[in-house]
Chain A
Amino acid sequence: MSILRMNINGKPVELDVPESRYLSAVLREDLGLTGTKIGCNEAECGICTVLVDGTPVNSCIYPAFRAQDASVETIDGLSTNGELHPLQQAFLEHGAVQCGFCTPGLIMTSKALLDEKAAASESVTAKDIKIALKDTYCRCTGYQSVIHAVLQASGQDIPPYIPETRSPGQVVGKARPNPDALAKITGEARFTDDYVFPGMLYARTLRAGIPHARIISIDTAAAHALPGVHAVLTHKDVPGRNLHGLVSFDWPVLCRDKVLYAGDAIAIVAADSEEIAARALELIRFEYEELPAVTSAIDAVGPGAPVLHEGRPDGNLLKHIKVNKGDVEAGFGAADLVVDRTYRTPTVEHMFLEPECAIAVPAAYNPAEFAGPLDPNAVRGETALHAKTTIYVGSQIPYLDRDQVAAALDVEPESIRIVATLMGGGFGGKEDVAGQIHVALLAQATGRPVKMLYSRQESLLFHPKRHATLIRIRTGATRDGKLTAVQATLYGDGGAYASLSEKVLTRATTHASGPYDVPHVKVDCFAAYTNNAPCGAFRGFGVSQSCFAVESNMDILAQQLKIDAIELRRINALDVGSVTCTGQLMKESVGLNECIEKVDLDMRGEDFRWSWEEGRSRFAWGVAIGYKNTGLGGGAPDKASAEVEVWLDEETEPLAEVRTSSAEMGQGLPAVLAACAAEELGLPAERVRVLLGDTDYCPDGGPTTASRQTFISGNAARLAARKLMQQLQSAGECSSTDLAELIAAARNSGTQMLARYEYWAPKTQPLGSGGDMHFAFGFCAQAALCEIDLDTGAVQVRKVIAAHDVGRAINPLTLEGQIEGGIVMCIGYALTEHYIQEQGIPWTNVMARYKMPGIKHTPEIVSHIVEHDTSTGPYGAKGVGELPSIPTSAAITNAICRATGVRVRSLPVDQDELLRAIRSGADEVQLGWGDREPIPAVNLGGTQ
């Protein structure tokens, strides 16, 4: 240990710490300044940026003792005396804060730029910002709001970009920052890893490292014996169900018989420090017999493939999903032109910036026993008594976590409490159980709180990904552009465990003819188990994949029929009165044509050309349209409960709280729920608090997935508020709508000032029944202007014009955030992202090997909002979380094809392949970046 002296945020500090420390650890652990977040520990993501003597550095790789006598600035000290720094104020106003995990890094990096420019009396340009923030990443916002916020903070007058929407009600329809954004910009917001419980132990997981094996033995004796180790657990130590899952329970908590993917959990350790836990892992002797790995969906369901889940009657076929409408043979017979292509989409990683973290606190935990402070008024947190086993975790499905933990521990669900902490991004990647059950087991075994934090590298290895697919699609149309038939066959790589594969690939299947009125459709989808990483929910949920294939074919069709690309979409677009490929009659809320119109009008502005050459670049527009269900659909019960409570504050002004267990992962749910309740209660939105995700206090809101939360929980909140008003009116015998009066009148009657409402979405029907599979769909059209460098093959997206039908915009500011973030996420899908696995071993084992879009990739995004109300959504709203992230990839490859004549059939676009195709005059590219083999042949209907 040595003395480290620094000036931190204007205050001198002196610490006696090991010389082996990194600056980030000194800040977060020794000084308790948890505003600085850790995204990767690889100096890759930049969110840990702090200023050392005014210079931005990645604190995760900065040796602390290099900062001896230096001045360090962190987010924690940025606002002085409660006054926000202009950057913080601007980020808030521009909606540049979503999940908040990257926010400290973005703000500190920007601060250095502003300080530097101010000192040189130079003004700040967008180009300056893109250079300064090049290696500081954000996964939620799409960066456009960040650029505007930094420009504003530099003194320029840049109003927040808020798209035009219908005139607002009292609250609903007004742009408002997310209520928890304030804590996120000051660094006060706490994510799971920011909690430190007195007496807490640190846990690590031993992962298999090989894709397919029979387990022979697991010997933990040496690990047990290591001083500082408190528990080492294997499958033998799971008292209840050793399996978890979201549809089928097929995923072992701790492996017993087999290893089915490299990230499988073999054993878990809890120790006094993470270092000791890591050493303990090395002492575990794990013996296995390696088995041949199955690494593609087509091979998995073919003859001779080793069966992963032995004893399953269907072998590796998880499900054969079918859609049938009309008679495709007749349909193709009637076509003048048939386009038939096979496409390939990659395995993709969510790359939420906050790696998974879970803390379990055992029942009867008393912090005072570990010399920690005890606050008798605390209901949770480090100073609280914990009556029940409590898991602190950023999860998308708190109630399901509770059930799964309880099942593994063999206890009643009510004896477990889940406290959903802030989530630094989810995107579907935090639905499956990660560390929740493991920490619960360890807390029970040790009697201490246990924290399990995944490193970025472990997160990459462990969590479910987006399904890779092979999609052969055959599209037939008559000469006038009317679609007559679509037939598609899809193979989906579900990886080792079922997760949500069945649902994702059902979605891919039911959306596989696109948002079009097609009389004859036949789709066969084969969801397969393989020894690759399990695949599950990921924003877009199967439709990202099928939309790429559908919209690529549509552009080929347009080109061959010599029909304008937008006109072809217009001719066939779904409208009220259309019947989808699953037989659902669209009765209302189909704003697709208006979306197409808005994009067409904007794109064709003045001097429109589809494509042109400038210097050594070719520019071209590409269009694509898409749709996405709102809600679970397919007959699944889709409901949410919300509770609304009101009271008067010290100034006898009414306050309200909405409680539901839905998850906020940056999408802006609290603002939406507050608006829905506020509108009903006649309160300003600022007077409505929202409590999310505590299973002891919040009724079940259902999973945060399927773009459902605004619709379902928004309705639950709205109707709970309405019920409360009615309750208060009748209790106080007062017909006023003024809440303060109502509360005063009702108080004497002793009535409860709260109401709970369980909202059930309109019933849907299972696939194959011909009924309504979904109660609402969102629709969109996007046009992407791309620049292709003819000398390098590099592709840049310069502008995206988009129109989204959201039913009703509840909060245009957070809505725009979803749109921009979704579009940029899909740009990543098209151009930069691939989770590469080689024979079941991830090549992508560090963040440096996975690039999501950075600020330099941000195009100009112009957003139009279309509002075709649903009759059942809150104030007419339907979901939008996934919709914007769906068609952009096809819009981009359509632009590339228009510019170069080369059709890219595998994502992500590889400029090496593209350049060589352009030079050689080839008309297509089959290899995406990371692909080593051409696209396999797919037989229509599926028999290979």
Chain B
Amino acid sequence: MIRNCWKHYHTPGSLDQAIELLNRYDGRAQVIGGGTDLLLEIQQGRKPPVEAMVDPSRIAGLGEISQDAGHIVIGCAVTHARIVRDQRIVQHGTCLVEACGVIGGPQVRNVATLAGNVAHALPAGDGTIGLLVLGGEIEISDADGSHWMPLADAFLGAGKSVIDHHRALLSRLRFKPTGQLEGSAFFRIMRPQGVALPMISMAACLRLDENSMIESARIAVAPAGPVPSLAEAAMEALVDKPATQEQFSKASEAALSNMSLRSSKYRASQEYREEMVRTHLPCILARAAERAATGYAEPQGVGQ
């Protein structure tokens, strides 16, 4: 176990300063969110120690949740705890609250960030999955400026995102808040034993039309491959269909036929994962549909 993971700790006051620092260290510095994943990776030898950490938590503007014309925007320094408390996201990004609300425990959620969760690029990062079905986007800032890109395109492989953490910063995240007749839900099964990753998690965001037909759907099941991904077959199966239990079950079967869930040692068997999708994905779809229909959401499972 390595305890000294960094030598210099910087808390720049602006995005420009942060990027300038990264470039000055020329590959020997790294952006840090809460550190609750990153520091363990370094301590346990899976990532090398760095000369400097660049901590964006004091950058003005990056510690806020704001809402502009089309999006709810979450700064990279915003912690899971803040997201869970935000009433705008509770109502218009419910699956994100349900996802961020089960990451680690209270102490971890008080420092860990959604940006960090996304940057870690694990196949089943809870916050990431929640943001994915909301059609989330991330903003990458570097010396050339800032640009937005779909979250769905941000992953290259397990643990690998498009972001070069030695030169660039995931500065903000955003999603279109769910509107009328739109609702979302997230669900996760964790073992009570020593496995830090979920057995399986799933999220859905549905939009209905006035006739309770499904206008659009975004669904994710994880882990279902090396990168977080949408369950396209299940989504297609739902479009223009009524929001009924029968359709939700059919969509879940479509999801299963088009994804390869695997067994992970000590974590979950393939059969269990398939059975959980079969059993629970219809429920999550139903919950999202109900929230769409009623326009009201009470997040479930937060903190448990």
Measured CB to CB, the residues of A under 8 A from B are 18-20, 22, 41-43, 46, 49, 55-58, 61-66, 68, 109, 131-132, 134-136, 274-275, 455, 457, 791-794, 831-834, 836, 843-844, 846, 848-851, 856-857, 908, 910-912, 915-916, 919, 929-930
Contacts and interface: CB of A to CB of B under 8 A. Distances in A.
Contacts of A846: 44
A597 B234 CA distance: 56
A58 B108 contact: yes
Contacts of A42: 40, 43
B191 interface: yes
Given A19-B6, A19-B7, A19-B8, A135 B192 contact: no
30 contacts: A19-B8, A20-B6, A41-B3, A43-B104, A46-B107, A55-B110, A56-B107, A57-B110, A58-B111, A61-B39, A61-B40, A62-B35, A62-B111, A63-B9, A63-B53, A63-B55, A109-B107, A134-B304, A135-B107, A275-B4, A455-B1, A791-B280, A833-B193, A834-B193, A848-B194, A851-B192, A851-B193, A856-B304, A912-B272, A915-B275
B271 interface: yes
A311 B122 CA distance: 51
A66 B81 CA distance: 17
A832 B193 contact: yes
B259 to A, nearest CB: 19
A614 B36 CA distance: 39
Given A62-B111, A63-B53, A844 B106 contact: no
B105 interface: yes
A109 B271 CA distance: 39
B192 to A, nearest CB: 5
A848 B196 contact: yes
Contacts of B189: 792, 794
A21 to B, nearest CB: 9
Contacts of A19: 6-9
B11 A930 contact: no
A831 B192 contact: yes
Given A20-B7, A848-B194, A916-B272, A791 B279 contact: yes
B8 A457 contact: no
B254 interface: no
A911 to B, nearest CB: 7
Given A134-B303, A457-B1, A916-B271, A66 B9 contact: yes
Given A850-B194, A929-B266, 6 more contacts: A63-B6, A135-B104, A136-B107, A455-B1, A832-B192, A848-B40
B266 A49 contact: no
B110 A929 contact: no
A791 B275 CA distance: 9
Contacts of B249: none
A66 B57 contact: yes
Interface of B: 1, 3-9, 11, 32, 35-36, 39-40, 43-44, 53, 55, 57, 81, 104-108, 110-111, 189, 191-196, 199, 266, 268-269, 271-272, 275-276, 279-280, 303-304
B106 A135 contact: yes
A715 to B, nearest CB: 42
Most central of A136, A833, A910 by chain B CB within 10 Å: A910
Per CB-CB distance, the 7 closest pairs between chain A and chain B, nearest first, are A135-B105, A131-B303, A849-B194, A65-B9, A912-B272, A19-B9, A134-B105
Contacts of A919: 275
A275 to B, nearest CB: 7
A851 B195 CA distance: 8
Contacts of B1: 41, 455, 457
A57 B108 CA distance: 7
Contact of B304 (A46, A131, A793, A844): A131
Contacts of A20: 4-9
Nearest to A834: B193
Contacts of B44: 846
A366 B116 CA distance: 50
Nearest to B266: A930
B36 A131 contact: no
Most central of A56, A136, A857, A912 by chain B CB within 10 Å: A912
Nearest to B269: A912
A856 B44 CA distance: 28
A297 to B, nearest CB: 22
Nearest to B5: A20
Contacts of A832: 192-194
Contacts of A64: 9
Contacts of B5: 20
Given A19-B8, A912-B199, A930-B266, A49 B192 contact: no
Contacts of A836: 266
Contact of B110 (A41, A56, A848, A856): A56
Contact of A43 (B11, B36, B193): B36
A49 B107 CA distance: 8
Contact of A929 (B32, B106, B191): B191
Contacts of B194: 832, 834, 844, 848-851
Contacts of A856: 304
Nearest to B279: A791
B87 to A, nearest CB: 14
Nearest to A912: B272
B11 A61 contact: no
A407 B106 CA distance: 49
Nearest to A843: B266
B107 A58 contact: yes
A131 B106 contact: yes
B9 A61 contact: no
Contacts of B268: 912
Nearest to A113: B106
A915 B272 CA distance: 8
Nearest to B32: A63
Nearest to B6: A20
Contact of A916 (B35, B40, B57, B275): B275
Contact of B111 (A57, A134, A792): A57
Given A42-B40, A457-B1, A911 B108 contact: no
Contacts of B7: 18-20
